[in-house]
Amino acid sequence: MRYACMLRGVNVSGQRKLTMKELVAFCTQIGFSNAESYLQSGNIILDSDLSAHEVESRLEQGICSQFGYDDVDVLALNAQELGAVISSLPAGWQDYDTSKLHFTFVKRAAAARSKPAGKDNDFAPDEYMLGRDVAYVHCPNGYGRTKLNNSFFERLLNARATTRNWNTTQKLYELASG
């Protein structure tokens, strides 16, 4: 199975630096095959016979041990799962400028499903919709200005999360489709 693995909190704002070259080599060292990186922001594509949960656990534990971090969250999705996220974009959002669309992937899906799906008008013009394992985020004025960031969704859903923009999510889907 080919997985797109998204690391949370690595290589953000100069914090917790981990070169993708080191990470790709490490993935090979711990038994994953065909590992490659996408961008310098914690995106790895790899092949494994393990389940997504097992891939996440192996990477989280290994990265913490090898690189000395207290915690690292990894979300592993296959092409089918990424395709489902993309194709489930909320109704009416297909006409939005894709440079203003983001996907906040939620680590613990059970927590995400326990919250009601919906929209909160307190953040206008920004908006979000909760889906299965993901929050869809539209930020007409740019993601850098929104309050609908990882911290917001982590508090709302009591779960760890990581966000990718439309282009990165599309590319991860293409790479995972292999």
The CA-CA-CA angle for residues 2, 5, 8, to 5°, reads 175
For residues 92 and 150, state if they share a domain: yes
Calculate helix-pair angle for 52-67, 20-29, nearest 10 degrees: 120
pLDDT tens digits in sequence order for the chain, 178 residues long: 999 999 997 765 566 778 889 999 999 999 999 999 998 778 999 999 999 999 999 999 999 999 888 888 999 999 999 999 999 999 999 999 999 999 999 986 544 444 444 555 679 999 999 998 899 999 999 999 899 999 999 999 999 999 999 999 999 999 999 8
DSSP-based three-state secondary structure for 69: coil
- What pTM was estimated for this model as a whole? 0.90
Structural domain range at position 8: 2-79
Instruction: Report the alpha-carbon distance of residue 18 to residue 155 in Å, rounded.
Output: 26
pLDDT of amino acid 104: 97
pLDDT of amino acid 68: 87
pLDDT of amino acid 117: 47
For residues 57 and 90, state if they share a domain: no
Backbone phi, psi, residue 123, to 5°:
-110, 10
For residues 50 and 109, state if they share a domain: no
Number of domains in the chain: 2
Q: Which of 33, 64, 79 is the last residue of a domain?
A: 79
For residues 97 and 66, state if they share a domain: no
Count CB atoms within 10 A of the CB of residue 30: 14
For residues 68 and 131, state if they share a domain: no
Q: Which of 79, 112, 130 is the last residue of a domain?
A: 79
pLDDT of amino acid 129: 95
pLDDT of amino acid 12: 56
Are residues 100 and 139 in contact, defined by beta-carbon separation less than 8 angstroms? yes
For residues 61 and 45, state if they share a domain: yes
Q: Which of 79, 103, 132 is the last residue of a domain?
A: 79
DSSP-based three-state secondary structure for 151: helix
pLDDT of amino acid 4: 98
CATH of the domain at 59: 3.30.70.1280
Instruction: Report the alpha-carbon distance of residue 30 to residue 164 in Å, rounded.
Output: 26
For residues 111 and 139, state if they share a domain: yes
